[in-house]
């Protein structure tokens, strides 16, 4: 494993820009800009047109980005068959892989495949799935992702009613006595970040608010980092 998500702080806000909101025509330059802006890792939204009604990026795009980037690559697999795609995206350059408990594959098998591929393991739940769905797997997880929009598209509005779920995961993480990142994804910006950190999320995925920030990416990333002071862990 080249870049390790476990090296990132658990007690501060870290920022994972989602390239879904970047300009794919100038992706290399956009990724370089967001690195210079102080982002901590890069979030890659992989959609298969089946698990969600959208198609985004395949392995060639990830391997091209890999050549030019020293970011930890955080792949969020919104796919029906994570068991099939795990080795494919690990080979392309993913360092960390998060998959959905609602996928068609057996979670225990997917976790084993992610570990076998040399990546760290994340699991996530769609908005309607309760936190308890991940309880059987918590001892194997390096990251838990709470979706604060329905997966499938960038630029949607933050679902405020997901904060109880964030708080519940934070309690589960505390009880586990393990280091597990609590990531949140969807509609995160310099305002909504405060709700997320007060509920216990420490890692912010942000697409639109970073790549399309009117005052520039550095200001947008800084504004998210600034929320560290209110983080409850």
For position 40 contacting ligand DX5 by CB under 6 A, the verdict is no
- Residue placing its CB nearer to ligand DX5 in the complex, 90 or 146: 146
Mask of contacts with ligand DX5, 72-111, x by CB under 6 A? ----x-----------------------------------
Strand partners, 76: 45, 98
Q: Could you tell me how far CA 61 lies from the centroid of its own chain?
A: 18
Q: Is 30 a catalytic residue?
A: no
- Residue placing its CB nearer to ligand DX5 in the complex, 112 or 152: 152
- Answer for the pair 212, 33: CB distance below 8 angstroms, yes or no: no
Q: How many CB atoms lie within 10 A of CB 73?
A: 25
Of 170-229, binders to ligand DX5 (CB under 6 A) are 185-188, 205-209
Name the residue number minimizing CB distance to Zn ion.
Answer: 76
Q: Is 95 a catalytic residue?
A: no
Q: b/e map of 75-84 (b: 16 or more CB within 10 Å)?
A: bbbbbbbbbe
Instruction: Kindly compute the dihedral angle of the four CA atoms of residues 38, 18, 71, 160, in this order, to the nearest 10 degrees.
Output: 70
- Residue placing its CB nearer to Zn ion in the complex, 212 or 229: 212
Residues that bind Zn ion in the complex, under the rule CB under 5 A? 45, 76, 185
For position 16 contacting ligand DX5 by CB under 6 A, the verdict is no
């Amino acid at each position: 494993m080249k870049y390790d998500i476990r090296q990132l702080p658990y007690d501060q806000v870290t920022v994972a820009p989602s390239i879904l909101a970047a300009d794919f025509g100038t992706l290399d330059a956009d990724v370089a800009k967001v690195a210079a802006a102080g982002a901590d890792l890069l979030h890659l939204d992989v959609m298969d047109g089946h698990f969600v009604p959208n198609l985004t990026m395949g392995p060639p795009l990830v391997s091209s980005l890999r050549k030019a980037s020293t970011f930890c690559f955080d792949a969020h697999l919104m796919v029906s068959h994570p068991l099939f795609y795990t080795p494919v995206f690990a080979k392309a350059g993913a360092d960390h892989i998060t998959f959905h408990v609602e996928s068609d594959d057996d979670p225990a098998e997917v976790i084993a495949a992610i570990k076998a591929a040399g990546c760290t393991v994340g699991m996530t739940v769609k908005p309607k799935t309760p936190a308890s769905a991940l309880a059987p797997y918590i001892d194997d997880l390096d990251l838990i992702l709470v979706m604060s929009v329905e997966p499938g598209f960038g630029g949607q509005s933050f679902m405020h009613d997901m904060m109880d779920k964030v708080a519940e995961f934070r309690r589960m993480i505390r009880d586990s006595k393990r280091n597990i990142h609590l990531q949140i994804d969807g509609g995160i910006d310099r305002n909504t970040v405060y709700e997320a950190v007060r509920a216990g999320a420490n890692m912010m995925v942000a697409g639109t608010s970073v790549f399309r920030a009117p005052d520039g990416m550095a200001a947008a990333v800084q504004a998210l980092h600034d929320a560290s002071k209110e983080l409850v862990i």
